[in-house]
Amino acid sequence: MDDKKISIAVIKRLPRYYRYLSDLLDAGITKISSKELSERMDLTASQVRQDFNCFGGFGQQGYGYNVRKLYEEIAEILGIEQAYDVVMVGAGNMGQAVAKYDNFKRRGYNLNAIFDINPDVVGNTIAGIPVYHLDDMVEYIKTHKTDIVTLTVPAKVGTTIVDMIGGLGIKGIWNFSYADLHEAAEKYGIIVENVHLSDSLMILGYRLHTEK
């Protein structure tokens, strides 16, 4: 399987397939047709077939898909079997909410340390995770395996943080801040995934006044 050939549009649907297939396995279902799966997921059967064809199929005409094989393949593509070491910068409201949400840990993303500059939070723990001063971050990353930095800081400090971690071997940034990091990340070869909750809310607002 060459995952470079899978388009980002397909990749974006994989977590949802993964959750559905997990539910099917829990229910003891071992085979499912593209039609059944598409109905459950509100997609078209041809969309499901096209998506699964991208990474090897696992279906046979008339017999349906092997649920476990698909589940395992999607887990591999998403890197779910892999464990990632994560640090977070910014222990404000958003940082604390993300740190407390332990679903990420079950997916193999281990949050090991949090950094901030606010003396009210430095020295505390959040969900059992220590909060250190930002001044200690570079040394921490140099001495502790760290794959991902989660950014929950104000927009204006986002690029400063990327400049601090660039060249330290960080592979990805999970960017909740509104800083536009594409240039900085390109410079250091770091992959950025943005999570902009207010943007999502604005889209809901737009849909409410256009679709209702």
- Minimum CB separation of residue 202 from ligand ATP in Å reads 17
Report the C-alpha gap between 171 and 166 in whole angstroms.
Answer: 10
Quick one: 102 or 163, whose CB is closer to ligand ATP? Answer: 163
Residue closer to ligand ATP (CB basis): 78 or 117: 117
Q: How far apart are CA 113 and CA 137, in angstroms?
A: 9
Binding mask 104-133 for ligand ATP (x = CB under 6 A): -----------xxxx--x------------
Enumerate helices (H) and strands (E) in the chain, giving the number of each: 10, 10
Degrees to nearest 5, angle at CA 121 with 160 and 164? 20
Q: Report the C-alpha gap between 146 and 100 in whole angstroms.
A: 19
Q: Return d(Cα 184, Cα 182) in angstroms, integer.
A: 6
112 and 134 Cβ atoms separated by less than 8 Å: no
* C-alpha 47: how far from chain center: 23
Closest distance to ligand ATP from the beta carbon of 91 (Å): 5
Among 34, 150, 152, 175, binds ligand ATP (CB under 6 A): 152
The nearer residue to ligand ATP, 67 or 153, going by C-beta atoms, is: 153
Segment lying near ligand ATP (by CB under 6 A), choices 31-39, 77-85, 149-157, 163-171: 149-157
Nearer to ligand ATP, 51 or 116 (CB): 116
Cβ proximity to ligand ATP: between 14 and 114 the closer is 114
Q: Please tell me the count of residues contacting ligand ATP according to CB under 6 A.
A: 17
Q: Using the rule CB under 6 A, which residue among 21, 88, 149, 153 binds ligand ATP?
A: 153
Four-CA torsion 69, 71, 74, 76, nearest 10 degrees: -70
Q: In whole angstroms, how close is the CB of 193 to ligand ATP at the nearest point? A: 18
H or E element at residue 19: helix 8-26
Q: Which residues bind ligand ATP (CB under 6 A)?
A: 89-95, 115-118, 121, 134, 152-154, 157
